[in-house]
Amino acid sequence: MTRTFLRATAWLAGILAMLAALGWGYYLSLDLDSIPKANQHATTAGLPYLKQAVNEKRGRILAIVSSAERGGPLSKKAGYELTELSRAYYAFKVNGYEVDIASPLGGRPPASIDTDDLQDLDYAFLNDAEAQAKASQSLPLARVDTARYDAVYVVGGKGAMFDLPGNRDVARIVLDVAQRGVVGAVCHGPAALLDVAMADGKPFVAGKRMTGFTNDEELFLDANARARFPFLLQDRALDRGARFVSAPNYLDNTVVDGRLVTGQNSWSTWSTVEAMIKALGHAPVAREPGPDENSVRMLAAYQRGGLAAARAEQASVPQFDKMLVLMHALVAAMEWRLADAFQLQRLANR
């Protein structure tokens, strides 16, 4: 029995060693160390996109962010999503709009920052004295003079689920701006619109096409989301009579209904903001899409036409975010879509 046990142990050790070697070989084949890193010292002076700013002063836009640092019965971290503010901030400025930042409490609202998601432009925002002064000295919503603004843009982040819905000043600002300007929101930001009611009591979003962070996206990230948040955004939107439009998880999806513009998730930030600029009557200044946007385009092509379509899209972009594609491969594996997981890791490892 001892010899049999030793032989079985040796066989198992050999199998494990072979699997470890194969796994290490696969990891090396991905060449993750070659992925360019964002420049933490980036400044506005070094970004070509910002040098294309139009000379015309076209107006002013109010960006609303959450003041909720924590929320829910578990008091988990909340705040606003930095990338959803920083990218919108510069897109509006390049297209001729000044941007003010407001929050329910005013002052310095809490930002949610995932350094893995930051690009040069996001670091430039953190290194921009003027932008940081506005972000750290946000206007209290109660003091906002809506007559100054051509549009309002609600930034997402988990905090938006806690202190923006039902806020009287949010309702006041949205209803006034909507009469003559554009209302936009991205990711969890559309939650701020769901308790806004018209003068006749009808929900502001009733009958309107819109989107926001979906139930599937929320529950995939946190199976306890229904207990963590006061509501799920998609559920509440449907309850308010909205025509909710969802796309595959974590892909770009922006929905325009007249002068209401909403984006499904963080990867919809650029398209949401540029759709708002179009709704304001201007063609957005051209720019080079970032690696994350290129990856999302590849992933959307995969959803439409499989690996061949994704490869064709891949061939048209100068660079893409390999880690983002691998993340989608991992999501597919966790959902037991093993064929998709295999094909997506092939897409990442071009």
- Find out whether 134 and 155 touch, Cβ atoms under 8 Å: no
Q: What is the reported pLDDT for 71?
A: 85
Q: How many domains are there within the chain?
A: 2
Residues 134 and 263 in one domain: yes
> What tokens were used for 345?
């890791």
> What tokens were used for 283?
């063609």
pLDDT > 70 in the chain, percent: 90
Q: For residue 173, give the CATH number of its domain.
A: 3.40.50.880
Residues 224 and 309 in one domain: no
Q: What is the reported pLDDT for 17?
A: 46
Residues 185 and 301 in one domain: no
- pLDDT one-digit tens code per residue, 8-46: 555 555 455 444 443 434 444 455 555 678 889 999 999
Residues 140 and 232 in one domain: yes
> What tokens were used for 102?
């407001």
3-state secondary structure of 97: strand
> What tokens were used for 316?
């048209």
> Is 41 buried (19+), middle (13-18) or exposed (0-12) by CB count in 10 A?
exposed
Q: Which domain holds residue 105?
A: 44-279
Q: What is the reported pLDDT for 4?
A: 57
Q: Which residues, in sequence order, are bridge partners of residue 96? A: none
pLDDT > 90 in the chain, percent: 84
Residues 313 and 272 in one domain: no
Strand segments (E) across 157-201: 182-186
Instruction: Give, to the nearest 10 degrees, the angle between helix 129-136 and helix 82-94.
Output: 120
The 10 Å Cβ neighbour count of residue 191 is 29
| Residue 249 pLDDT > 70 | yes
Residue 21 lies inside a defined structural domain of this protein: no
Residues 206 and 123 in one domain: yes
> What tokens were used for 88?
């919108």
The sign one gets for the Cα dihedral 258, 103, 50, 300 is negative
Q: What are phi and psi of 95, to 5 degrees?
A: -95, 15
> Is 343 buried (19+), middle (13-18) or exposed (0-12) by CB count in 10 A?
middle
What is the three-state SS of 121-166?
HHHHHHCCHHHHHHHHCEEEHHHCCHHHCCEEEECCCCCHHHHCCC
Can you tell me the mean pLDDT for 144-166? Answer: 97
Count of positions (residues) in the chain: 350
Residues 300 and 179 in one domain: no
Range in 68-82, 247-261, 290-304 the model is least confident about: 68-82
Among the three residues 233, 257, 279, which one is the final residue of a domain in this structure? Answer: 279
| Average of per-residue pLDDT values in the chain | 91
Q: What is the reported pLDDT for 188?
A: 98
Residues 225 and 343 in one domain: no
Residues 215 and 323 in one domain: no
Q: Bin 245: left if φ > 0, else alpha if -120 < ψ < 50, else beta.
A: beta
Q: What is the reported pLDDT for 24?
A: 39
Residue 3 lies inside a defined structural domain of this protein: no
Residues 302 and 241 in one domain: no
Residue 184 lies inside a defined structural domain of this protein: yes
Residue 1 lies inside a defined structural domain of this protein: no
Residue 284 lies inside a defined structural domain of this protein: no
| Residue 344 pLDDT > 60 | yes
Q: Rounded to whole angstroms, how far apart are CA atoms 25 and 62?
A: 50
Residue 156 lies inside a defined structural domain of this protein: yes
Among the three residues 253, 279, 305, which one is the final residue of a domain in this structure? Answer: 279
Q: Rounded to whole angstroms, how far apart are CA atoms 204 and 101?
A: 23
- pLDDT one-digit tens code per residue, 261-277: 999 999 999 999 999 99
Among the three residues 250, 279, 308, which one is the final residue of a domain in this structure? Answer: 279
Residues 122 and 254 in one domain: yes
> What tokens were used for 317?
């972009």
Residues 217 and 303 in one domain: no
Residue 14 lies inside a defined structural domain of this protein: no
The 10 Å Cβ neighbour count of residue 25 is 9
- pLDDT one-digit tens code per residue, 104-127: 999 999 999 888 889 999 999 999
Residue 38 lies inside a defined structural domain of this protein: no
| Residue 307 pLDDT > 50 | yes
Q: How confident is the model at residue 168 (pLDDT cuts 50, 70, 90)?
A: very high
